[in-house]
Structure formats: C-alpha cells, structure tokens
Structure 1
Amino acid sequence: MAESAVDGRDAFTALGEAVREALGERGFRTPTEPQRRAIGPIARGRDALVVAPTGTGKTETAMLPVLDALEGEDRFGIGALYVTPLRALNRDMRERLEWWGQTLDLDVDVRHGDTTDYQRSKQADDPPDVLVTTPETLQAMLTGKKLRRALEDVEHVVVDEVHELAAAKRGAQLTVGLERLRELAGPFQRIGLSATVGDPEEVGKFLTGDRGCRIVEVDVGSRLDVEVRQPRVTDEDERLAGQLMTDADVASHVRAIDEIIADHDSALIFVNTRQTAEALGSRFKKLGTDIGVHHGSLSKEARIDVEDRFKSGDLDALLCTSSMELGIDVGHVDHVVQYNSPREVRRLLQRVGRAGHRRDVVSSGTVITTRPDDTLEALAIARRASEGEVEPAAIHHGSLDTVANQIAGLVMDVGEIRAMEAYEILTRAYPFAEVGEDEFKQVVRELAGNDVVWLDEDRDTLEKRRGTWQYFYQNLSMIPDEATYTVEDVASGDRIGTLDERFVVNFAQPGEIFIQRGEMWRIVEIDEDEERVQVSPVADPGGEVPSWVGQEIPVPYEVAQEVGEIREVTGTQLRGGATPEATARDLRRHYPADEHTIAEALDPLDRHEAALPTDDRLLVEFRGRQVVINAHFGHTVNETLGRLVSSMLGQRTGSSVGMEIDPYRIELEVPGGVAARDVVEVLNETDPDHLEAIIELSLKNADVLKFRLAQVAAKFGALKRWRGSGSNRFGRDRLLAALEDTPVYDEALRAVLHEELAVEEASEILEAIQSGAISVETVGERTPLGRGGRSSGQELLAPENADASVVQTVRERIQNDQVLLFCLHCQDWESRRTVKTVSDQPACPHCGSTQIAALNPWADEVVQAVKADNKDDEQEKQTERAYRAASLVQSHGKRAIIALAARGVGPHNAARIINKLREDEDDFYRDILAREREYARTKSFWE
C-alpha cells in the first residue's frame, strides 16, 4: 500500500530520548519529507520501502528507528544488517553511521570482499550491533559456523539502492539469501531505500517476499526544473573550434556548459559513457575550466581526490557518469547538466535530483542536446519526469542459474536438506514464486550431474559433496566473470582503454570500427592470449560510420512512442503551412525548451517529403542495398523486429543481412534483389504467435546467445572456468548443441529475451500492423528522418585535426623510444639512448666510424651474432641485417634511425620509406605508421 499522507509534523517524536538528543547534537532540526512520512511506520516495526531522491536523508530515515530499537538491548549477535550493492560504502555514509554508533554506544562495522582476515575473525567472535555488507558477502556469511550464530539475532535488514538490485540477478540472489536468513533468525523487519521507480509496489514485493509493505514515495517531478537546450552556434564557437580541435557544433556545447558552470556555485555534468567523459573533459581542460572528471574506470584514489576537491570548493564542477548516481556525497550541488539525452526518465530524475537537496528546494538541471533525435527524446523524457511517469524495474523472474546458485547455498548452510524444503524456501522469494517443481527438479539434476551437490533420490535429500564448497565460493556473485581486453594504439603504444569480453567475442575483428574515448578506432589485431586489442585511429572520421558505438542505454518504448507523437503533431502542422518558428512556439507550451532548440529538432521534419513515421506509422525507405524501417518503438522492440526481418530475409535469399538499430530506426543492408515490399511482406505475414520461435531460431546462430550460454553454464557448474575468445567459436557451437535440452540453455535464452529483446511487445506490434492499427508506408529513397541515425556517436570527433594529431603522436612516440647504436667498424662501442638524443649523423666515439647500426634496444643477440667467429644461419641473417641498417644510417643519418626505430620496420622497409619522394615531413611519419599497421595486421601470418 502506498503512503501519501504525512504521518506527523515531527516524526522524531517516535524515537527514544537518546536518539532525539543525538539529533540535536548532529544539527537535525526538522525531518525531511521521507523522514516525516516513514520514521513512524518503521519505528512501529513495519516493513517499508522508501522511494526518494539521493540526498533527502533516506539513510537516516531507515537507520534512526533501527538504531533506536537496538539502543540499550543486550544481545550477542548482529542486530541489524545494512546491505548495499556498492562494494565499499561511500565514506560520507560510513562516517555518518559510525558517528551514530559511537554516540549511541552501538558498534557499527563493515564487511565486504576486501575486509581483512583479522577483522573477519573479530566480527565472528565479537559481532557488531550493525553490520554493513554487500549481497555477495551476505551469501558467504550464511555458511560460516560462528557467523550463523551471530546472524540468529538479526531483527532488521535495510537494503540500500534496492531499485538497482531489483533489475539484476544479484538482487534475485539476495531475495533468496534473505529467506535463508529468515530460516536462521526468524521473521525480521525489512526496509528498502530506493530512487524513483515506476512500480514501487512491485519493488516492495521484491523486498518483502510479497508479505505486505508500507510504501513511502516522495514526488520529485513537481520539484524538478529542467530545460532542454541545443546551443546556437556563434562566431565565437567558430573560433573556439580550432582551439578545442573539434567542430563548431561541439564547441558550442562546451561553451554553453562552461557558461552554466560560471553561473552556478557547484555543478555536476553527467554524460552517458566513460568515453564521452574523457573526451569532453579534455576539451574543458583546453578551455581552462575548473572541472574534475569522475568515472568508474578511474582509480579509487583518483575518484576520492576529485570528490574531496569538489566538496571543498576547489573545483567548480564535476564531469561524471553514473558513478555519481549511487549516493556519493559531494556536498551541495546547485545545478546539474546532462550532456545528450539521459535515455530514461529514472536516470534524469536521479541525476537532476542531485541538485538542491534541501527540503522545498527545486532541483534544477539543463539537458544539452546535439541533434534532432536527441532533442525530441530529451523533451519527452523531461515531460514524463515532471509527471512522474517512470519506467518499471525489470525484475528477473525465475532465473534458473540463480536457483542453481541458491540450491548450493542452502546445502552449504546446513549440510543436508530435503529437496522440497529447499524448494519451499526458494519460492518464498518473490522472483521465484512461479518456479514450478519440475523446473526445480531439472535444475537439481543438472547440479548433481555436474558434481555440485549430491542428490539422494530415495530419501529426496540434497547433500554437500567435495565440489560444493569450491563451486559456491567461486560463484558468490551472480555477476558473470568476464575478461577485460586492453585497447592499445598501434601508433603510440599508449593504452586507450579497455573492452569487455562480450564486445570482443561478439563483434571485434580486424577492420571493424568502434568508438572509444570519443574517437573512432579501427581494429588492427586481436591478441587473445594477451587479452589485447591493437587499434589505429581513423584518419577521416567524417567519412566513416562506426560499426559499434558502445553499449547504449536502451530508450524505453514509451519514450520512443512520445517522440513519434511529437513528430505526428508537428509534422502535420508543418505540412498544413505552419512555419517551423510557429510550430516551435506551439510545442514550447508543452515542453521545456526554447524556440531555437525546438526549431532545430524540427528541421529534418520540415525537409521530409515522404510519409511521416510516427508512433502509429512505419516508413520503410530503400535505396540500393540500404533499407531503413523508421519505427518509434525503442531499442528492445526494434532489436526484436530487426532480428525477425533480417532472419526471414536471410532465409529467403540464402545471404546474410546486416542490421543496426536505434530507438527510431532499423537499418538493414540487404542482398541484391531485396526491395521494400519484401520487408513489408515479412511484417504483414509473420504470425505474431510464431515470433518467439523465430527469434529463438535466429539466436542459435548469434554469438549473443552462445556467449550467455557459456556464462550461465559456469553458474551451473557445467564449466569450471570459461574464458571466451574468438578462437573458441567452434567450442561455443558445440556447447550449444550439448546443452540445448537442459535448464542451462533455457536460462540463457530467458536472460537474452529479458535483457536484450522484447518479444511480447514486438508481437503486439505485428498484430497492430496486420490489423491496420499501425500503417506501413514505403518510399524509394533515403529521407532526412531515415538518415538521422547515422550521426549518432560522432559529436566529439575532430575530422579536420585527427590526421595531424595522429602524425604528431607517432612522431613523439618514436622520438622517445630507445635505440641500440652499435659500431660495426670497431665492434667495441654500443650505446642505448632515446632517438631524440641521437645526433643527425652519429659516429663512433672510439674509432670515428659512421658505420653505426641502429638496432632494437634489447637486440643483444644481434651484437653477439656480429661478433661471433663461427656463425650459424640465423646469426648470418642477423649480421646481414645489421650491416644493411648501418648502411642506411651512413647514408641518411638520423632519418634512418627514426625509420628503423619503428615497430616491424626492418632495413628493407626503412629504405623504401626513406627513399620515397615527398613534399611534407608529416608524410614521412604517415608512411612509417602505414608500415607499422601492416606489420601489426600481418605478423601472425609470417612470424
């Protein structure tokens, strides 16, 4: 049941005298809204879910009544658990809890994966009153003999950031862990703390096992002031573009954000990816803006440093990703900037909600958009946020690998358990309430077959066996183990970043283009043994389309539909003779943006002459082998429909069909002879009831399912440890064949359908198309709206300067590389030094000869080969190469040394580079880089 009325003006009266006195000492005068409405019910022992933005005192809302209940009690064990999905509780919250503990004479301690053995032992022997822990560490605690005794006294469990856990398997795992704790401690109070969600009742069921829950939800939409803005390009931006090595549009974005920072005391600038954070941060650095960068790839020390500097006022702004969403305290923030659409309503609410946390203060924010799709999407999200129309949490119902994991956990808890008793405990948890007995038995048999547990079918019992302990502790977390590949620039040798194993397995191959760090890169080589991807920068990003632009936050169906509705209304007005300016003024009455921003977003509509794609009209456009289905259905529905169409067209033609999707388009590259009518035929004639079967069939040929299957198999104990890589593709095919009729396959398929696709919604779309509720039009040309997806992800690129910057990078890297100089005349002098310190015409300081070989700095074996009296064949080759290198140095001096210092460039190729006629010195380094790329690409064939 939802709580809407205020329980009392001063909820602090529900607390005991010691806590009230501490409140005064801490400076709490009046409760915040969540505290006013939730402290009373929680103090009376009610299970509760508190839904409110970060910074509104949610932690104290939950913990003050809990600490009040624990104060003065005499117990041996742990009285309360505070479970957080963050590995280490942020320092501010930890300090606050420890202050309360010290003031009320309660012991508050933290336990997670990095806790020392000494501290763990101390906690088991002398348990704290309150233990802060993670979902995974709770799993381990439930199996420890001493800790189980300590957990018997638990009376309260607070789950922080429950909205994050509700949508993840680690949250589903926690719900069973809480039922296992209930077996040990008896019923206990459950309190959840959540950011704004669209279905708080569902999250409440997730928290309590559907046993009833008081829901206290703070309305944040009415306290939100958001403006959507695409900056106007000025003459100043044209000048600034050169300084920032970008174009005028991006310069206008940087300038506009810089002005917002200057107008406020402290601002957070949120971006959607780490790459954007780095790229945008580098431009602010060139501009001299006093800003720090904060994201998950930075070291813990670097993050703490910028948090502290921002909180103390040394920085005016913090540029961050979702790393700043989960409750990290950085003091007062008076404005939030979101760069590009936030993609989801909940994300906008959570981010902008970080501004103006004091009671009755409006949270203000600006969304800076970069293109028409981006603007209309942000407008729809801003309106929906103000109305409280938030996306629901996508709970993982019935995840069978989590069932397997928790069966092992239950056996670890007690050593032996009746199978049906384990089933009853498991299905008390809300995400598993619908798991059938037959499904459960199949999972048990799979675990027994994998030597994870012992199944005594005669007694219907599950018992520990030798492999149970190892399996359980290797699988404490439901986050899949995934390798991380280092991305290395072949030009500079610098580390660019990292790529997840999922990307490398499913996509990466030489020649493919992707975006990282705000720049485009082409894959040169993948070294699976070293887990390294070598790349080269794309010299002309303006002429390339990335095959992959990073893991996008999926845009929900409802947001994409509203974008379609906006296009329907405004497009009709424009076609009726209204000017873009008048249409923009009309739309401004309903959406928070200035006329320039809206007019820019309407520009493609104004130029679009074909039928308008809207929320209930598809437009299929084609030209040559390019087909675009303009469809306003969001990421997962478009992904599902795209897989359907590409699969069916592929079957008909016997050829593969390329596919790219965004929330508003399905872009296909089709074989010759395929026309728009073939696409329309698939949409009109596919039985909606057959869609899931068609999608499943298509997934069997897709790496996404095979990759997920290997992850799930590991969680079932079917694989002891699996490391996916491109060379294992045949192995993954065999794995698919071996596991197809098992619960492992069923779970892998369920997870892909749940997280990546939307079969049920796509089936409804097909029904609507076939009934005429959604119309389908075709046009034999590319349209302004259809082409709108191609610019995605390129906002921060610098086409005009990219080539020059790459040349400079190569120059600096080679100048700083080391080289071994060896005199072939006297064979008595050798010296290691950086290339930049070598003279224009090196000579031996011992004999004065200029017959100097420039060698790899670690080529001691070449020196030994030259000096050897009786040379073998390999030494003869090495000696010959050394004399050829020395001949080049004699003829061309330092220029030869530069060429020879390049990677994979021997005397033969160095001579070709040196002797090539060229007007520009930069071309010399371009030729060196071309040879290095060729070496990286081909070395696996000839080494």
Structure 2
Amino acid sequence: MQDRQAAGSAAFARLGSEVRSALSERGFSTPTEPQKRAIPPLAEGKNGLVIAPTGTGKTETAMLPVFDSVAEANPRFGISVLYITPLRALNRDMRQRLEWWGETLDIEIDVRHGDTTDYQRQKQANDPPDVLVTTPETLQAMLTGSKLRKALEDVHHVVVDEVHELASAKRGAQLTIGLERLQELSGEFQRIGLSATVGDPEEVGKFLTGDRGCEIIEVDVGSKVDFRVHEPEITNEDERLAGELMTNPDIASHVRAIRDIVETHDSTLIFVNTRQTAEALGSRFKELGANIGVHHGSLSKEARIDVEDRFKDGDLDALLCTSSMELGIDVGRIDHVVQYQSPREVARLLQRVGRAGHRMDEVSNGTIVTSNPDDALEAMAIARQATDGDVEPAHIHHASLDTVANQIVGLVMDFGEIDARRAYEIVTRAYPFRDLDEETFKGVVRELQGNRLVWLNEEADRLEKSGKTWQYFYANLSMIPDEETYTVHDIASGSQIGTLDERFVVNFAEPGEVFIQRGEMWRIAEIDDDESRVNVSPIEDPGGEVPSWVGEEIPVPFEVAQEVGEMRAVAGPQFEREAPREGVAREFTNRYPTDQHTAESALSQLDRQAETDAPVPTADRIVVEFAAGKIVVNACFGHKVNETFGRVLSSLVGQRTGSSVGMDIDPYRIELDVPAKIDGHEVVEVLHETDPEHVGPLIELSLKRSDTLKFTLAQVAAKFGALNRWEGSGPVSMGRLLGALEDTPMYDEAVREVFHDDLAVDATADLLRDIRAGDIEIVTTGGRTPVGSGGRSSGRELLAPENADASVIQTVRERIQNDRVILFCLHCQEWQRKTEVGKVNDQPKCVQCGSTRVAALNPWADEVVKAVRADDKDEEQEKMTRRAYNAANLVQSHGKRAVIALAARGVGPQNAARIIAKLREDEDDFYRDILARERQYARTQAFWD
C-alpha cells in the first residue's frame, strides 16, 4: 500500500508547481494507475503509448506532463501541442474536458476541423492557440497554409487519441506521413498515443513514432469489464409480442429482453453491428413505444446531435447505435451496455462495454444478447478472450500507394518544389512505408505526372507544382473513400431524413420501393440523380427493405473462429457418447460467462449433429457435406480465410466442371452452389491438390470478375487523380476502368487493398500446407447436417450467375411447401386452421360455410385473427384487417399459388400480387421471383422472418 502511494506521489512530483496546484484545486490527490506509470516517462519527454480502460484518466495522463511543459515555456509563440482525434465530435468533447486546465494554467486551447468558421481559422492563423485539437484531415490542410506553417514550427508535442482506430485505416497511414511532414517544420517532437484497446502495442508504438522508440504503458483492460452472454428464453409474452411486431417469437424475445434491460437501468447504450440492424431494431422499439433513440453515421448531423443531447439530458432511456458511439463521444454517464448479437471482435467488445461505468474504480458491465448457436458460441469465445485481454492486432496498411500519391502532392504543396529523393526519404521515415522501394515510388510519381497533379523536372530530379496540384489536394484531404451519397428528404416536411449510399440507390432503389430510416418506414417517390437526392413519403407498411450500406460487415477473426472450433471439439465427443445436453452445458457455464439456458441453446446444434452420426467440424477438422446442388465446407477459420478459400474453391471447381459456382461464406462455412452432378469429393481433391503458392494468383484472377475490385479500383483511381472527380466528369464504366488501369500502380494498390481488407492469402496458403501435412483433417458426409445448415449468411457478394439453378429452386420449393400457414375464413370468421402449405388445396375453401374468401396468414398471426373479429378496432387492428382482406382476395383469385407467395419470407400481399401477376413460361420462374424478393428481404432476415 505504501509502495503504491509512493509511486503516486512520485508521479505527481514530476510535475511543476503550477500543475500540482491545479491538481489540488481539481481534487486529484491520488493518480490513477495509468498516471502513476506513464507520467514519469512522459514528463521526461519520451514517446509513449498509453493503453488503459475508459474512465481511468487517459486524457489527463497524456496532458498533465504536456501542460507542464507548455506552462514552463516562456515566451510561447506558435502552436505547442496538437491533439489529434479521429472524429470531429470528439474534438468538441476534448475541448470541453481540457478547457478548465487551460483556464487555470493560462494555456489557450482551441479546436479546428472542417466546420470551423473562416473567421476562427483566420484568428488561429494570426494568433495561434497553445493547444490545438484537430483531426488528421485538418492537419493535412494546416501543413500547406503559410501562417499556420509558421505556427506549427513551435510544435513540441503531438497526442493521438483513439490511436487503434487510425492504426488500421488508410487515414492513419496518411497521418504517419503527415507527422513526418510536420517534423520537417518543427524538428523532433514528443508523440503520445492513447487507446482503450490495442492488440499489438509494440507495432502500434512503431506506427505512432516512426520506430523512434516508444514507452508502452499498458493497464489490464480485462479486470475492468464484466460480460454476460445471454439468449432469452421465449415466454408467453413473446408469443403475443410476435404478432404485434409482425415477427416470430424468437426475435420478439430479443426485443423484449433488451427492453427489460433498459427498464432496469438508468442509461443504456445498445450496440448493433450494422446500420440496417439499427434501423430494423429501432423500428421494433418504436412499435412498442419504447423511449429509445437511434444513432448511426447515415443520419444527418442534426439528427445525431439531437439524440446525443436528449440521451445526455436523460430524455431518452437508451441509445441504439453502431460503431458511431464506440469512440467516446460524451453522452453522459452510461450504466450498462447491451451488445445485440456477437460483437465479432474482441477489441470491439472492449471498446463498447468500456463505455459503461466511466468512473475510476468502477467495473463496466455489458450483456451480449445472442440469436443462434453460432452467435452464442462466438460471443462466449470473444467474452473469454476479452476478459483475458487477448485483443486482435491492428492491421496496418503497409505501403498503400494511393496514400503515397496523396502525400507526394502534399509535399509539393508544402514546399512548392522538392527534391524527389528528399520526398522519398520523408515518406519512408513513416513506419507503414519503411519498405517502399524506389522503383515503386517512381512509378507513383510518373502516374501523378501523367494525371497533371505534379511536374517532374527530370534533369534536376525535382517535383514541382502542376496545373491541378492545388485543386486535387484540397479535394483529397481525406483518405476516406469518396463515395457519392444521396440525401433523403421527406416530401411532406421538406426536412432531411438521412443519407443513402450510391450503391444502394443504383442497385435497389426505385420509385415505389420501401425502406427504413431513423426507425420509420418510407416509400420512395422520386430519385433526382442530378441533385443526388431521394424524395420519400412516410408509410406504415412493415414489409419494407432496410437500406444496405457498403462495407459494414465486421469480419470474425481467425482466432475467434478457431476457439469456436475448439469448443465444438470439447462438446462433440461428449454428445457422441450420448452425454445429456444439460451436463455438457454446465461445463461451459463454468468456463464462459453465460447461463445454463444460453449454453444449452448454443450446444443444441452439436447435440443434433451427434444424433445424425455426422462428424463435427472443429478447429483442425474440415467437414465437407454435400446434397444435390449444394456443397458446404464446414471450416472454423473466420471470415477472411473462408472468403479466400471460397474464392479458390469456386474458381477451381468451376474450371473442372465448366459451370458457374455460386459462393457464400460465414466464419464457419463456405457454401457452394454447384451443378447437381458434382459432389464433395471434387472439393476435397481441390483442397489436397492446390499448391499453396498459387493462392495469390488464383485469387487475383477471381477478383477481376468481382464488383469488389472494380469498386475499390474506382476509389483508388480517384486518389491518384485519374478520375478527375472534382471536375464532375460523371460515372465511369467499371469494366473499362479495370481494362485501362490493369498495368498501373492504381491496379496494384486496389488488389493490395482488397487483399488487406477482405482476404487472408498468406493464412490460407498456410492452412493448405497444414492440410498437405495432415495437421488438418478433411472428412466428407452425404446430405445436410445441423451444423452445416445452421449458418447465418454473411451477405457477401455471390459469384453465382443471377438466375438460380434448378437445385436451388427445388430447395426453395420444398422449404415453402413445408412452411405452415393459418387459413382463416373472412366470410364467416369462424373457421381457421394451421397447416403446411403443401397440404393446402388448389382452391382453399372454408369447411364451415364453403366460402373461398380465405386469408393465408403467418403461423403466429393470431393477433390478425383477433383484429378481424374485433367490433371496435383501433388503428393497428384496422391495418391488420386490411392486410388480411388483401391476402384473402389474392387467395380467392389465385388459389394455392397465392398461398405459396404469401408464405414466402418477407412477402406481404402487395409483393405477392406483383409476383403472381407476372407472366411466365416456366413454373421455376415463379419460385425464382419469390427467391429474388426473399433475397432482397434477407438483408434484415433476423428481424423480418
């Protein structure tokens, strides 16, 4: 105890009298653990990376020794400190946190970002603050202004907040060169990074400092968090709620369980993994009248600030959010965090649950609400790894060439002209670019010259400004992809609702289509491409589609998927010996933070697998199962490896058979749609025979046919100035772009980026070597297994042709025929019957009154029956009744065909009528149209099934 007190006293003793006096005034008598350990080396001027849980005083840990240094410097001229955050909203929060210290120590603190007024910018240039809080992009602009460059000559300290967020992004790679450009002005300065979660501190320390040496101060994050993994049990209330929410009892139980958690806490953050999930779940809470706001990046800035303020003021009980709330935006005190469905990554769980508590000695509490066996096992593995501090490493973008292009132009803007050799040396001082070779650098310069962004004076080997240098630079301050967004406007009020991205509008949006935004339903009235505007009107139809945002799928890491495989390896043999599920589950509740019901539900898939005598896929066993037209490779390797494996398999199996092979993956399965004559043995042969060295070339070949590479190439080409986007050159054909740029640095960078973000070529090659060495077993089994059938689709692009083949159509037909419906007579309103679709007569009739006016309803739609029979109907019952009569009219006119269409997933009377009305030559086309509608709907399958 005395030793700890002495360490604390020693930490604050390293600070000057002014700062110590301010600490006493602020009531800080004892430093926190990060402060005890970090202040001494930081006060000596050493570079440092501080990793500690939220609420342990990281900001003060960095800024107290920095304030001390600034307070002692007299006189002060320019900007002494840059405090860099990844979000503008964090800038506002940080200024408020630091203002008291600034006023007390007579240190001027200001904020600068894209929204800063011209007046304020001019004021900062003429009279620079001592501490400037800014973003990586604004630093880029500051480095080119003549007065600000003078002010930046005085920088002695740079603090990078949420450094983990930048380390794995191109924005961060750009920042590392930006810091080297800053050093050309100011000389060496102290670099301090702050984060709650870093998986590889040494690597991130090098990223931050350019490998100049970095003190790592890491405080155990696992000891400050407490997680529970919970899958709700279905109650009678959930059965009733399912009808009210137009969903099934499973999903109703999730909504009810989250609502119950919110009601038992003062302020709750509810995290979901995608914006479409936020919208879908938000609409469910809205139906219930729950006092819960929705917050994500596609809502307008005004809408986001509004819900942030209402939540902070206590006007909202909870905030339903995506990663938009991960990075510490101040919304007041939070006493619990709900994560809906697996968080997919350890770092994400720690960041999110770390938002709760927010006091020095308080443990942050979180509940992960899971929805299926994969989800639950995965969440248990992640919670265990998080408790032990096993965080994923940052995936730094090494040698990203569009970043090099961007920063070469930045250097020319800085100096007007610069020796090419000097530019190369500045760029390669930055850690992500240390291995960039001269020839590649020259190739980028040549490309920039060809696009008239810089001029290369070859005789003098100097880079100079060109005609488009200035325009390009200010149009490309950010490395965030420059994708067109459409604003969404309510016709009635004229107000902006939010935004939709270009890919959604082009591929899915058309007048008459329905989607959800801000938790409400909207119908598209008009799309104005010239104004990038979508006009909508509000509706109350629950059969809508949620907007699809690009790139939101959070990949499950290899290590997490492997632990799920290890869990299967523990449980599988016990079930094969016919051990009772409750006993096996009890063992898991002792190892993982979960309850008996959740563990039993998570293991149910494996228990059923044992009953079929099918082998269980594990961390080191691949199980290949096959039925007519479908092969499932059960492989516990995570998203990126399975995506890579899947592309290799679909490509090589397609070559062998001369057929298109459809592919879909999740972290535990690779599903291939193949011609019926193909079985799993071809896949096994490919796995055994593929040369590991051929994985990279095979993948690159397969990418040329994919939208992923074309879309990425367009983004990279824009950063090279090849598209001249600031001149409004209009859309460019993706196919022509690929052909034109194939032998350029832009193509190389697009391939590198897709490999980095979406694939795991080296890891896949290593696994193929393990297969050849016999370290990974491959077994086959005929027919579909419970584990193989139990996946959740990742929503990745399909490599299959647009038209589903006969085996897929047959599967859809069989599934719908086995689905159940309620038949309810609207003439006498007495007769109702629950039956399988396949058993329905060609023309359904009421067995009591003989009427053909029979509605086909969802099997849980008892509330609809009650609504039709009600004498005094409320507004909701009127709506249900109208839908029931619309369904009955279809059945009366089209018989069993209408029943089939109405039984499909997500197809209400309106869409069923469209499907039925279409003229077709082939019965299969009827099911193809149903499947197309279901696939559209499946983006929110978890909420709309």
Contact kept? 1:712, 1:747, Cα under 8 Å: yes
Checking the alignment, whether the CA contact within 8 Å between 2:279 and 2:516 is kept in structure 1 is no
Aligned partner of 2:852 in structure 1 is none
Deviates more, 1:676-685 or 1:305-314: 305-314
Alignment of 1:817-896 (within 5 A): none
2:681 matched residue in structure 1: 677
The counterpart of 1:706, out of the listed 710, 727, 731, is 710
The offset of 1:596, in angstroms, is 0.8
Q: CA deviation at 1:26?
A: 2.8
In percent, how many aligned pairs have the same letter?
68
Q: Which amino acid aligns with 2:744?
A: T
Q: What does residue 627 of structure 2 align with?
A: 623
Distance in structure 2 (CA, Å) of the matches to 1:765 and 1:538? 50
Q: Distance in 2 between matches of 1:306 and 1:545?
A: 21
Q: Please say if 1:787 is aligned against 2:789.
A: yes
Conservation of the 8 A alpha-carbon contact between 2:55 and 2:360 = no
The verdict on how the C-alpha distance between 1:528 and 1:773 changes in structure 2, with shifts beyond 3 A counting, is farther
Report the 3-state secondary structure (helix = DSSP H, G, I; strand = E; otherwise coil) of the residue aligned with 1:789. Answer: coil
Query: Per the alignment, do residues 278 and 704 of structure 1 end up closer, same or farther by CA in structure 2, a change over 3 Å counting?
Result: closer
Find the residue that maps to 1:170 and give its secondary structure: helix
Corresponding residue for residue 846 of structure 2: none
Q: Is this contact kept in 1: 2:456–2:464, CA < 8 A?
A: yes
Counterpart of 1:814 in structure 2 is: none
Q: 1:363 to 1:615 in 2, by over 3 A?
A: same
Pair 496,790 (structure 1): closer, same or farther in 2 beyond 3 Å:
farther
Tell me how far apart the structure 1 counterparts of residues 206 and 443 of structure 2 sit (CA, whole Å).
27
Is 1:17 the counterpart of 2:17? The answer is yes
Cα contact 2:51–2:217 (8 A) shared by 1: yes
Shift of 1:315: 3.1
Structure 1's unaligned 5+ residue stretches are 794-798, 805-912, 936-943
Aligned: 1:656 with 2:657: no
Find the counterpart in structure 2 of residue 587 from structure 1: 588
Q: Secondary structure at the match of 1:391?
A: coil
Taking the aligned partners of 2:256 and 2:570, their CA distance within structure 1 comes to 33
1:40 aligns with 2:40: yes
**Partner-residue secondary structure (3-state), 1:50:** strand
Q: Give the whole-Å Cα distance in 2 for the aligned partners of 1:766 and 1:104.
A: 61
Counterpart in the other structure of 2:338: 337
What CA distance in whole angstroms lies between the structure 2 residues aligned with 1:639 and 1:241?
Answer: 35
CA contact (8 A) 2:276 2:546 kept: no
Paired AA for residue 698 in structure 1: S
Contact 1:710–1:732 (CA<8 Å) still a contact in 2? Answer: yes
Give the equivalent residue in structure 2 for 1:890: none
Taking the aligned partners of 2:341 and 2:334, their CA distance within structure 1 comes to: 20
127-136 vs 252-261, which moves further: 252-261
Cα-Cα RMSD: 3.9
Aligned equivalents of 1:468, 1:337: Cα separation in 2: 48
Task: State whether structure 2 residue 52 is matched by structure 1 residue 52.
Answer: yes
For residue 198 of structure 1, give the secondary structure of its aligned residue in structure 2: coil
Paired residue secondary structure (1:678): helix
From the superposition, tell whether residues 418 and 568 of structure 1 become closer, same or farther in structure 2 (CA, over 3 Å): same
Deviations 1:542-593 (A, max 9, x none): 9x99999983211000000110111111011111121100100111111111
In the alignment, which of 690, 693, 698 is matched to residue 686 of structure 1? Answer: 690
Map 1:99-498 to 2 at 5 A. 99-485=100-486, 498=499
Letter of the 1:321 partner, please give it. Answer: T
Instruction: Determine helix, strand or coil for the equivalent of 2:631.
Output: strand
Aligned equivalents of 1:164, 1:692: Cα separation in 2: 28
Measured in 1, the distance between the counterparts of 2:559 and 2:226 equals 22
Displacement of 1:333: 2.1
Identify if the C-alpha distance between structure 1 residues 703 and 274 changes in structure 2 by more than 3 Å, giving closer, same or farther: closer
**In structure 2, how many angstroms separate the alpha carbons of the residues matched to 1:932 and 1:571?**
44
Report the Cα distance in structure 2 between the residues aligned to 1:116 and 1:535, rounded to whole angstroms: 33
The residue type equivalent to 1:37 in the other structure is R
Question: Does 1:559 pair with 2:563?
Answer: no
2: distance between equivalents of 1:785 and 1:545? 28
The Cα shift of 1:470 comes to 1.3
Q: Which residue of 1 aligns with 2:672?
A: 668
Deviates more, 1:352-361 or 1:197-206: 352-361
Q: 1:665 to 1:272 in 2, by over 3 A?
A: same
Question: In structure 2, do the counterparts of structure 1 residues 167 and 22 end up closer, same or farther at CA, with 3 Å as the change threshold?
Answer: same
| Cα displacement (A) at 1:323 | 1.5
Q: Deviations over 1:19-72 (max 9, x none)?
A: 222223333332222222212221111111111233322111111211121115
Structure 1 residue 497: Cα displacement: 6.6
| SS state at 1:592 partner | coil
Q: 2:424 and 2:232 mapped to 1: Cα distance?
A: 58
Q: Deviations over 1:77-126 (max 9, x none)?
A: 11111111112435432212222222211211111111111111111111
- Aligned 8 A contact 2:95 2:109 in 1: no
Aligned mates of 2:525, 2:654 — CA distance in 1:
29
The structure-2 alpha-carbon separation of the partners of 1:337 and 1:563, relative to structure 1 and needing over 3 Å to count, comes to same
Aligned to 2:750: 748
- Structure 2 regions of 5+ residues with no counterpart? 796-818, 825-888, 903-907, 919-945
- Residue 292 to residue 30, structure 1, CA distance change in 2 (3 Å): farther
Change (3 A) 1:538 1:370: farther
2:611 is the counterpart of 1:607? no
* Cα distance in 2, alignment partners of residues 323 and 189 from structure 1: 30
Helix, strand or coil at the partner of 1:671: coil
Q: Residues of 2 paired with 1:702 and 1:539: CA distance? A: 35
**Distance of 2:156 and 2:426 partners within structure 1:** 19
Aligned AA (2:441): F
Q: What residue number does 1:819 align with?
A: none
TM-score (norm 1): 0.79
Q: In the superposition, relative to structure 1, how do residues 930 and 423 fare at CA in structure 2: closer, same or farther (>3 Å)? A: same
Deviations 1:107-159 (A, max 9, x none): 11111111111111111111111111111111111111111111111111111
1:68: which partner in 2? 68
SS across alignment from 1:154: coil
Is the 8 Å Cα contact of residues 664 and 793 (structure 2) preserved in structure 1?
A: no
Q: Which amino acid aligns with 2:672?
A: L
CA contact (8 A) 1:628 1:665 kept: yes
The normalised TM-score by structure 2 is 0.79
User: Is the 8 Å Cα contact of residues 589 and 595 (structure 2) preserved in structure 1?
Assistant: yes
Partner amino acid for 2:469? T
Distance 2:914 2:708 in 1: 35
Which of 359-368 and 590-599 deviates more? 359-368
Which residue pairs with 1:857 in the alignment? none
The residue identity in structure 1 corresponding to 2:203 is E
**Change in 2 beyond 3 A, CA 1:249/1:672:** closer
Matches within 5 A, 1:504-583: 551-583=552-584
Change (3 A) 1:350 1:771: same
Measure the CA separation in 2 of the matches of 1:687 and 1:177: 41
Q: CA deviation at 1:339?
A: 0.9
Write the deviation string for residues 214-244 of structure 1: whole angstroms up to 9, x where unpaired: 1111111122211111011112221222333
Q: Is the 1:165–1:171 contact (alpha carbons within 8 Å) kept by the matching residues of 2?
A: yes
Residues 702-722 of structure 1, C-alpha deviation per residue, up to 9 Å, x if partnerless? 121122112111111222118
Asked if structure 2 preserves the Cα contact closer than 8 Å seen for 1:539 and 1:803, the reply is: no
Task: Evaluate the alpha carbon distance shift between residue 767 and residue 723 of structure 1 in structure 2; reply closer, same or farther with a 3 A threshold.
Answer: farther
C-alpha change, 1:157 and 1:928, in structure 2 (3 Å) is: closer
Contact 1:714 1:720 in 2 (8 A): yes
Residues in 2 aligned to 1:200 and 1:790: alpha-carbon distance in whole angstroms: 33
Contact 1:292–1:317 (Cα < 8 Å) also in 2: yes
1:890-913 CA-partner distances (Å, limit 9, x unpaired):
xxxxxxxxxxxxxxxxxxxxxxx9
SS in 2 for 1:749: helix
Structure 1 803/198 Cα, relative in aligned 2: closer, same or farther at 3 Å? farther
